[in-house]
Structure 1
Amino acid sequence: MIDQLILGFDRALQTVFASASTVRPTPGEDLPETELSDAERRHAAALMRINHCGEICAQALYQGQALMSDNDGIRRALESAAQEETEHLAWTERRIAELGGRKSLLNPLWYGGSLAIGMAAAKIGDGFNLGFLAETERQVEAHLKSHLDDLPQKDGRTRAIIEQMKTDEVAHAETAVRLGAVPLPPPVRGAMKLMSRVMTRTAYWL
Structure 2
Amino acid sequence: MTARRYSPADRLIDHLDQGLRTVFGNPPTTGRPHPAANVADGELSDADRHHSAGLMRVNHCGEVCAQALYQGQALTARDPVIRDAMREAADEENDHLAWCRGRLNELDSRTSLLDPAFHLGSLALGAAAGAAGDRWSLGFLAETERQVVRHLSGHLERLPEADHRSRAIVTQMRTDEGEHASMAVQAGARELPAPVKRMMQLTSKVMTTLTYRV
Q: TM-score, normalised by structure 1?
A: 0.98
Aligned to 2:3: none
Distance 1:33 1:148 in 2: 15
TM-fit CA distance, 1:132: 0.2
Aligned to 1:43: 51
- List per-residue Cα deviations over 1:39-66 (Å, max 9, x = no partner): 0000001100000000000000000000
TM-fit CA distance, 1:175: 0.3
Moved more, 28-37 or 124-133: 28-37
- Does the aligned pair in 1 maintain the 2:77–2:83 contact within 8 Å? yes
Pair 1:10 & 2:24 matched: no
- List per-residue Cα deviations over 1:97-129 (Å, max 9, x = no partner): 001111000111011000000000011111110
Distance 1:21 1:205 in 2: 28
Distance 1:25 1:47 in 2: 22
Q: Using the aligned pairs only, state the percent identity.
A: 54
Pair 1:129 & 2:137 matched: yes
What letter matches 1:160 in structure 2?
A
CA RMSD of aligned residues (A): 0.8
Distance 2:28 2:74 in 1: 21
TM-fit CA distance, 1:19: 2.4
Aligned to 2:200: 192
Q: Can you give the 5+ residue segments of structure 1 that lack an aligned partner in the other structure?
A: none
Distance 2:23 2:213 in 1: 18
- Does the aligned pair in 1 maintain the 2:41–2:162 contact within 8 Å? no
Distance 1:138 1:38 in 2: 32
Q: Can you give the 5+ residue segments of structure 2 that lack an aligned partner in the other structure?
A: 1-7
Question: Between Structure 1 and Structure 2, how many residues are aligned?
Answer: 206
Which of 155, 177, 185 is the matching residue for 1:177?
Answer: 185
Moved more, 70-79 or 12-21: 12-21
Q: TM-score, normalised by structure 2?
A: 0.94
Which of 81, 91, 103 is the matching residue for 1:95?
Answer: 103
Pair 1:68 & 2:111 matched: no
Distance 2:107 2:42 in 1: 11
The SS at the match of 1:113 is helix
TM-fit CA distance, 1:21: 4.4
Structure 1 stretches of 4+ moved >4 Å: none
What letter matches 2:56 in structure 1?
M
What letter matches 1:13 in structure 2?
L
What letter matches 1:182 in structure 2?
R
The SS at the match of 1:112 is helix
TM-fit CA distance, 1:201: 0.3
Aligned to 1:110: 118
Distance 2:27 2:58 in 1: 16
- List per-residue Cα deviations over 1:145-189 (Å, max 9, x = no partner): 000000122211110000000000000000000000011000000
Distance 2:192 2:43 in 1: 44
Distance 2:24 2:55 in 1: 20
